[in-house]
Amino acid sequence: GAVVSQHPSRVICKSGTSVKIECRSLDFQATTMFWYRQFPKKSLMLMATSNEGSKATYEQGVEKDKFLINHASLTLSTLTVTSAHPEDSSFYICSAREGGGPSDTQYFGPGTRLTVL
């Protein structure tokens, strides 16, 4: 089956620093990747959609300069949380979709737990 990995699985950083999270599709090429944020006992909140080789599309209320997304290849997307603050602490999850259509299956990574001190 399709596998999506994320690295790191867990990161603790100091306030003001930047953190990069990687998302990789291991056995398929992902035309589109998505980044979600999830608070405890809550649903997944879409942050942005990234297509390989083009700029990411951010959801309303998500600061693009705060959450930098790069989708440099068909198997890798990165999310960089810049100048992190404690309120950025959350569970970040990526997903990858092989096809370009809305009915193509999305596969999720295992998530990254970010804690900002």
Partner 1 sequence: GENVEQHPSTLSVQEGDSAVIKCTYSDSASNYFPWYKQELGKGPQLIIDIRSNVGEKKDQRIAVTLNKTAKHFSLHITETQPEDSAVYFCAAPLGGGKLIFGQGTELSVKP
Point out which residues bind partner 1 (CB under 8 A). Answer: 4, 6, 32, 34, 41-44, 46, 49, 93, 95, 97, 100-111, 113
Query: Whole-number minimum distance, CB 16 to partner 1, in Å?
Result: 27
Q: For partner 1, which is the closer residue by CB, 86 or 101?
A: 101
Q: For partner 1, which is the closer residue by CB, 59 or 63?
A: 59
Q: What are phi and psi of 86, to 5 degrees?
A: -55, -30
Give the whole-angstrom CA distance, residue 77 versus residue 60: 20
Q: For partner 1, which is the closer residue by CB, 42 or 55?
A: 42
Query: Whole-number minimum distance, CB 73 to partner 1, in Å?
Result: 20
Q: Are 5 and 110 in contact (CB under 8 A)?
A: yes
Q: For partner 1, which is the closer residue by CB, 53 or 101?
A: 101
Query: Whole-number minimum distance, CB 22 to partner 1, in Å?
Result: 14
List CB contacts of 99: < 8 A, sequence separation 6 or more. 31
List CB contacts of 95: < 8 A, sequence separation 6 or more. 4, 33, 34, 36, 106, 107, 108, 109
Give the whole-angstrom CA distance, residue 39 versus residue 35: 14
Query: Whole-number minimum distance, CB 37 to partner 1, in Å?
Result: 12
